Amino acid sequence: MNKGLLIVLSGPSGVGKGTVCAALRRRTTDLIYSVSATTRAPRAGEQEGVNYFFKSREQFQDMIARDALLEYAEYVGNYYGTPREFVEKTLAEGKDVILEIEVQGALKVKEKFPEGVFIFLLPPSMAELKQRIVGRGTESQDKIDRRLSVAVDEMNLLSKYDYAVVNDEIDRACDRILAIITAEHCKKERFLHELLGELKSLTTAQNGAER
Ligand SMILES: Nc1nc2c(ncn2[C@@H]2O[C@H](COP(=O)(O)OP(=O)(O)O)[C@@H](O)[C@H]2O)c(=O)[nH]1
Ligand SMILES: Nc1ncnc2c1ncn2[C@@H]1O[C@H](COP(=O)(O)OP(=O)(O)O)[C@@H](O)[C@H]1O
């Protein structure tokens, strides 16, 4: 069975990764969302195992020690990481997996899975990015400032990604991401087809030489 595609959706805090991911999950059941572990406190309405697996720092460090995380990063004072087993098992079942993670973690995933599809979500403008972080109302002024200053560094990593998608409107951003995934599937299938064709001509040439 062919392995599924690993899709990594990344970009600065407040750009709309969580919102776009939730909309993608409503639009298709073909994309399996990887639930991350974090030491951050749950926000109102967030559920254990749905939004995150909420961990203490000790529990998180134990996951690191057991190599239970595909990648992890410290972001604005908290740990965030991707549980390894779920991702590997789901990809092996031929299903596509989407990770919604910040940029340091995404670059670590790229080292391990260079064949992954790396998508950077961009805001329509930096003023709109600030507006979204402030408007979400989940952070104190100090955290908003830290997230915005991290966002500037994060934007500089755009060139390391395969694709950039502007999140102007949620539905349009989803359309763009789904189009990328469809195109990547076509590429992968065509590539396999070419490999099989090459193998066939090699075996024919070899058989001819042995005769
Ligand atoms: N490296 C890494 N980053 C993650 C993971 N899960 C979530 N993040 C990122 O951590 C950052 C902070 O997440 P969160 O506190 O939920 O805030 P929000 O996504 O900005 O609403 C965001 O950029 C997330 O995409 C993960 O497993 N690994
Ligand atoms: N396309 C969009 N247009 C307007 N507001 C958006 C859009 N996408 C997300 N938002 C809003 O921006 C804020 C940050 O989105 P969120 O998904 O939490 O970002 P991230 O996960 O990247 O930190 C939320 O209040 C969300 O409702």
Span 113-158, pLDDT tens digits: 999 999 999 999 989 998 998 887 777 888 888 888 888 888 889 9
DSSP 8-state class, residue 48: B
Tell me the domains of the chain and their CATH numbers.
6-34+96-210 (3.40.50.300)
What ipTM was assigned to the predicted interfaces of this complex?
A: 0.96
Instruction: Check: CB of residue 132 under 8 Å from CB of residue 168.
Output: no
Residue 171 in this model has a pLDDT that exceeds 90: yes
Span 20-77, pLDDT tens digits: 999 999 999 999 999 999 999 999 999 999 999 999 999 999 999 999 999 999 988 9
**pTM, two decimal places:** 0.89
Q: By three-state DSSP, how is residue 159 classified?
A: helix
pLDDT of residue 211: 64
Ligand 2 centroid to residue 14 C-alpha, Å: 6
Two tokens, residue 96: 């596509």
Amino acid identity of residue 34, one-letter, is: S
Ligand 2 centroid to residue 83 C-alpha, Å: 24
pLDDT of residue 145: 84
Two tokens, residue 4: 């599924």
Q: By three-state DSSP, how is residue 40 classified?
A: coil
Binding residues: 11-18
Task: HSE, CB side, 13 Å, CA atoms: give it for residue 89.
Answer: 7
C-alpha–C-alpha distance, residues 186 and 99, integer Å = 21
Percentage of residues in the chain having pLDDT higher than 70: 99
Q: By three-state DSSP, how is residue 152 classified?
A: helix
